[in-house]
Structure formats: structure tokens, C-alpha cells
Amino acid sequence: MKKLAIFTALAALTLWGCDSEVTTNQGDNNAQPNNIDPNNTSAQNNPQCLQNSDCASGLCSPQGTCIGNGNTTNNAECTEGVFNAECGNCDPNCVKNGVGSPDNPFNLDNNGNDDESSQGVVLDPNGGITIDIQRVEAQFIWISNTGEGTVSKFDTRTFEEKGRYFTGPSGAGNDPSRTSVNTFGDVFVANRSGMTVSKISALGEGCPDTNGDGVVTTSSGSDILPWGQDDCVLWNVALNGGGVLRAVAAQDVRASDDTLQPAVWVGGWSGRVWKLSSDTGAVLVDTASPVSTYGFALDGRGNLWISGWTDNAIGRINTNLCLTTDSCADPVCDSNGDGSGDACVKERIAIGYSPYGITVDFNQRVWAGGQNILRYDPQAAAGSRIVSAPASFIHGIAADDKGFIWAAAMTTGVVRYSADDPTQSVAVPDTQFSSKGIAVDLDGKVWSINLSNSSATVVVPGPTLNDHTATTPITNLVSPYTYSDMTGSQLRFATNERGFYRRIFEGCDNSNSAGIETDWQELRWTAQTPGASSITFRARGANSTTALTTAEWIDLATVPPTTSPFDLAAALAAANLDGVRYVELEASLTAVRDASNNVSAPVLQTMEVTYSCPVILN
């Protein structure tokens, strides 16, 4: 634990004082000194104190002039106009401690430093903290080569193949199909007949040295390394007892302490659902599915939506409540869109036909394919939640962030729908190549995965329903049976990216007989919050670092609209934390994506606290 300097003398401070006597008007409390104007403009060059105000609430000008109490016979608080340049106030015992300056930069490595911790943030070129844009801007699409037992990673901007990987130990027998991409760009691949799940990193040469030979060995194009030799294949887990694996969905969960707990949900056709740790593949939840699992999609509220092919229903699992196998053991609630199952952990919603592909749009509405196109709005009034329209049979389905739904309709090709009125649609020309799967990349381009043609068609949409162009730049796939969130856009469009930085500040040592309590004063910061990005500050306090780890967080300020400085003293006092020895501050950064898909990320440049310790006189 780093110790913060505690000053109990004035020698460490830069001080200014009143250098001449002030002429007063004893009969008027609002009178000003004869030689200082009411707006204090002349005080910038005349370090004299204003009179007849309570110095305990007095302020100081940047030039060192105490603009509190000028009565030198009753001026103990301001010590005759002494200015504390470190804290910018008239408290001679105040000290400032902060991070972000050249002398005390942010430390994101957490190497043996218990005072600092972080997640999802990086340093910008100037040393400030910002969102890890790699998480936001991973421009890859992962397409299963089902007939080859591999998955390909393509750059969605250059169309260049960046890697090809076996997805399990069984070669072509892996039978990979569904892929789901997390916010780091990594992929989870569900092997149907192989009944295993693999996680593969998007970092390429930046992958970890998983075999420990001192060299990162990985595919760099269409080359395929033997199973077990590619360092970017992070783990492979067998899931038995649930039948063929037909659904997978990555999820980044925020825990109660705001840490990121990435996971992946996997579904077996025989009605089993597992939640796995993203880091290790360990099974966290093993539970029955409310419907047969043919596809997954997560919404921004933590609901896992399930395509119940052959069940004439869609299913829902509330992942905020389904945290363990035991907590997810509740019986399934049956409904028909009337809202009766909204509070249930698991729900089966009758829709009158068998859905195929499934997705969720940025308005949190669920969409399903099959013989109809279906929209289910869980926020709509009971009885009006389900809207459907006849369709050419829809396999994969995806939502963009402009208000359109895109469907893969095999020989009909790609079909574009209005999300507000799904009866309005148009077949996209030059896409009639056995369109099996569909995905939207983070630039808004639409990808059609063509099963029989072993190719990928890219649609560049215009602003209107009939405005689009299509090309087929990728032709070296192998029987690609992929229709899922293969770019990660569905996950990202539903949520904004966040990260946090935390630092523990130590105040006065209250462990001795004197029992000195810390006089916490202000939280200060400098930051940039472009667009609609924001920074939210929280704090927790305790008299030991052990107690601090379980203390409750209290909300402080959100930037914007709050500006620095913030009254930390008042916030701690309101939570009965005034005087505590330790305060942990958290800055939570949120980046947002605008309508043009541009990311605005905040930058925290400095973060400081001020406090004082009483002087103990012997």
C-alpha cells in the first residue's frame, strides 16, 4: 500500500498573507475595505483581506488573497489571510493527493500496487485514461467453414483473411456452425456434431504464448495450423448431455462492483443451456432451456432470447437472475405475449409458428425468422407485443443501428425490412447466392454468408429501403453454415462500452490514541467527454483496507453535467463516512456510438482529492 504524505506543519505549503492593515466601516457588515473594490479586481495586485465575513467559509483568489475575514483580531481560520497554494484554499493543514500528473502518472499494470486497479481502459498518448478502443473497434467477422472444421477471421474493411483455425480436435468432424463475438473481437465457436466449444482470440500475433515455447505461433491468412499448435486458440470445452450444439452468445456482464465478468452462453438442441466462463471455459450454469435451442440473442437488459425451432415459441432466460444452476432451476412460465411471464426467470412465449434465426435490435425488440418475420416487443402493452408478416423462409436475421432488419432467405437472397413496419421489404439485387447467414459489421455493411456458393456477399446500404449495392468479395469459404452474431454487432448495438479506474487514498492515521479523523474536502479532476460520452465517479470509505473491499459504494458525480471540484466532504458525511482513514475513488468511463457508428470515448486526465489532518499540539 502506498502511503500518502500527511502534513501537520505549514513548512510544506506556499503561503501568502495580508501585508497591510485594512480600513473598516464598523457600522455596515456589507461595507468593503476602502482600498479594495467589491469585485476584488484590485485584490489581484493587493494582497489584502476583505472584512466582516466568516472566514470559515471564505475563499482565496489565485493570487493568494484571502477573500474571507479581514478582521486580523479574529482571523484564526485564515491565519491573517494565509493562502494554501497546494489546495487553493485558506486551510493551512490541507494537502492534495492525486494521480495523472507527470510526477504521479496513472498505473494500469496493477503490478504489486494495491492502491490502483482498472478494467477496460488504456492510457492515451498523453497519459490520460480512456476506453480500450480495441474492445470497441474490433473490425472482424468470423465465418465457420463447416465442411472443413475451421473458422475464418476476415477484416471487414479490407476483406482480407487474417487467420483460419481448426475449431476442435476432430477436423471436419468438428462441424462448426454458430459463432458469437465478444466486445474484444474474440470468437466463441459452437461445434455441432463435435459437441465442443472453442474460444479463439482476435489478437493474432498479440495472442498469448499458450504453449510456453517463447514464440507466438498462429495462422496469418488461409493457412491452418494443426490442432493444438495455434496459440490463438485459447480453450476447447466438451459439453455433453445436451445434444448437438446449435446456439452460442457472448455476454459481458457487469457485476455489482462494476467489474467486467465476460461469459458465453451455449445451447444444446436437446434443451440444455450452459453458461461458461469466458476466461477458462469452466461451466458456471447448467440448466434446462424453456424451448429447444436453435439460436441465441442477448438484449441490453440481460435477457437471453432463444429461437425454439419446432416448438412454435421463443424462449427467454433472465441472466440477471439465472446466476447459478440452483438459482436458474425455477419452472418455466408459459405466456402468449400477454406479459404474464415478465417477472419469471424462464419464459416460453407462444408465437404460432417455428422460429429459425433470432436477433435483438437496439430498441430491445426481438426478431425471429422462419416462415414469417416476427417482431416481439417486450416493452409494448400486453396483446400488442407480437407483429409478424409472411416472408420467404428466413434463415439468419440481423438488425442494424439505422432502423432496418436484414434477412437471409437462401435463393431469394438478402431481404431488407423496415423495423418500424416489417410489412415493408425489398429483396436486394445481386445477393441470390444461397444466403444462409446474415450479419452487420461495425461500419454498417451487411454480410450474407452463402452456403452452397461457399462465398460471402457484402451489401453497402443507403439511407432508404431501396438504396443499396452488393458485391461478393470472398469466395474461398468451405460450406459455411453460419448464421449468428459473427461480428459482435448485435451485442454492441444493445450496449455502450465502459471501463473503470480505481484508486485508494489514505488520509490521517486514526489508529493512535489521538484518534485523528481525516477532514476530507474536495474531489477534483480534469477530463474530456466528447459527444455523449461520460465519466461517473463513485466512492467508498472505511478505516482499514480490509473493510474497504466490502464497503458499499456511494454515487458522487457524473460528468457532464457536474464540473470540478465536487464537495467530497458533504457526500461522505451524508453516508456517515466523514473522518474515515481510507477512501477509494472510482471513475467509470462510458463510450458511446452515434448514429453514424462513430465512437466517442472520454478521457480522464487527472483525479485528485484534498483533505487535512488536525495539528496535535503537545
Is the pLDDT at 28 greater than 90? The verdict is: no
Q: Which of 102-111, 380-389, 455-464 has the lowest mean pLDDT?
A: 102-111
pLDDT tens digits for range 444-453:
899 999 999 9
Sign of CA dihedral 127, 131, 132, 134: negative
pLDDT value of position 590: 85
pLDDT value of position 262: 85
330 and 412 share one domain: yes
Q: Which of 55-59, 92-96, 146-150, 406-410 has the lowest mean pLDDT?
A: 55-59
Does residue 44 sit in helix, strand or coil?
helix
State the amino acid at position 615 in one-letter form.
V
Q: Which of 78-82, 291-295, 434-438 has the lowest mean pLDDT?
A: 78-82
CA distances from 208 to 136, 153, 226, 281, 306 (A): 20, 18, 17, 16, 33
Quick one: pLDDT band at residue 614, thresholds 50, 70, 90?
Answer: confident
487 and 513 share one domain: no
529 and 578 share one domain: yes
Residue 474 vs residue 86, higher pLDDT: 474
* pLDDT (average), residues 346-374: 94
Highest mean pLDDT among 87-96, 200-209, 348-357: 348-357
% of the chain exceeding 90 in pLDDT: 61
Cell of 336: 402468449
* pLDDT (average), residues 562-587: 94
440 and 457 share one domain: yes
What phi and psi, each to the nearest 5 degrees, are found at residue 272? -120, 145
Q: Is 68 contained in some domain?
A: no
Domain termination site, one of 450, 473, 493: 493
Quick one: pLDDT band at residue 138, thresholds 50, 70, 90?
Answer: low
160 and 291 share one domain: yes
488 and 553 share one domain: no
Q: Is 212 contained in some domain?
A: yes
Cell of 31: 461595507
pLDDT tens digits for range 524-545:
999 999 988 899 999 999 999 9
- Cα 322 from Cα 34, distance rounded (Å): 72
Quick one: pLDDT band at residue 471, thresholds 50, 70, 90?
Answer: very high
CA distances from 617 to 5, 8, 266, 427 (A): 19, 10, 67, 85
pLDDT value of position 598: 65
Quick one: pLDDT band at residue 316, thresholds 50, 70, 90?
Answer: very high
pLDDT value of position 83: 64
% of the chain exceeding 70 in pLDDT: 80
pLDDT value of position 56: 37
446 and 513 share one domain: no
- Cα 167 from Cα 148, distance rounded (Å): 10
How much is the mean pLDDT over the chain?
A: 83
215: CATH: 2.130.10.10
Is the pLDDT at 406 greater than 70? The verdict is: yes
Domain termination site, one of 478, 493, 508: 493
105 and 145 share one domain: no
Domain tally for the chain? 2
pLDDT value of position 70: 36
Q: Among 399, 394, 604, which residue's Cα sits nearest to residue 499? A: 604
* pLDDT (average), residues 494-506: 81
Quick one: pLDDT band at residue 616, thresholds 50, 70, 90?
Answer: low
557: CATH: 2.60.120
- Cα 220 from Cα 216, distance rounded (Å): 11
Q: Is 340 contained in some domain?
A: yes
What phi and psi, each to the nearest 5 degrees, are found at residue 74? -135, 55
486 and 553 share one domain: no
Q: Among 483, 464, 488, which residue's Cα sits nearest to residue 416? A: 464
126 and 206 share one domain: no
Q: Among 560, 391, 406, 544, which residue's Cα sits nearest to residue 483? A: 406
Range of the domain at 214: 134-493
pLDDT value of position 232: 96
Q: Is 331 contained in some domain?
A: yes
Does residue 502 sit in helix, strand or coil?
strand
* pLDDT (average), residues 69-91: 52
Is the pLDDT at 386 greater than 80? The verdict is: yes
Quick one: pLDDT band at residue 94, thresholds 50, 70, 90?
Answer: confident
Is the pLDDT at 354 greater than 90? The verdict is: yes
Is the pLDDT at 77 greater than 50? The verdict is: no
Residue found under cell 502534513: 7
Is the pLDDT at 550 greater than 80? The verdict is: yes
128 and 140 share one domain: no
pLDDT value of position 509: 82
pLDDT value of position 261: 76
Q: Is 422 contained in some domain?
A: yes
pLDDT value of position 264: 97
Is the pLDDT at 260 greater than 80? The verdict is: no
- Cα 62 from Cα 41, distance rounded (Å): 12
pLDDT value of position 596: 53
* pLDDT (average), residues 387-406: 93
Residue found under cell 467530497: 568
Is the pLDDT at 305 greater than 60? The verdict is: yes
428 contact partners, CB below 8 Å, separation of at least 6: 413, 414, 415, 416, 459, 468, 470
Q: Which residues of 187-218 are buried (b: 16+ CB within 10 A; e: fewer)?
A: bbbbbbbbbbbbbbbbbbeebeebeeeeebeb
Quick one: pLDDT band at residue 18, thresholds 50, 70, 90?
Answer: very low
**H helix or E strand, kind and range, residue 187:** strand 187-191
Residue found under cell 466528447: 530
Q: Is 587 contained in some domain?
A: yes
Q: Is 534 contained in some domain?
A: yes
**β 404-408/397-399 pair status:** antiparallel
Task: Tell me the H-state helices in 30-151.
Answer: 133-136
Quick one: pLDDT band at residue 326, thresholds 50, 70, 90?
Answer: very high
Domain termination site, one of 493, 510, 533: 493
What phi and psi, each to the nearest 5 degrees, are found at residue 215? -135, 135
pLDDT value of position 474: 97
DSSP E strand stretches across 64-149 = 94-99, 116-119, 121-123, 129-131, 140-145
347 and 320 share one domain: yes
Q: Among 617, 618, 611, which residue's Cα sits nearest to residue 5? A: 611
Q: Is 373 contained in some domain?
A: yes
Torsion of CA 95, 98, 104, 109, to 10 degrees: 140
Distance of CA 501 to the CA centre of its chain: 13
**β 116-119/498-506 pair status:** antiparallel
Cell of 48: 489584502
Sign of CA dihedral 135, 137, 139, 144: positive
Is the pLDDT at 133 greater than 70? The verdict is: no
The secondary structure of 520-569 as a DSSP string is EEEEEEEEE--TT-EEEEEEEEESSHHHHTTSPPEEEEEETT--S-EEHH
**β 333-335/346-350 pair status:** parallel
Does residue 319 sit in helix, strand or coil?
coil
Residue found under cell 487467420: 163
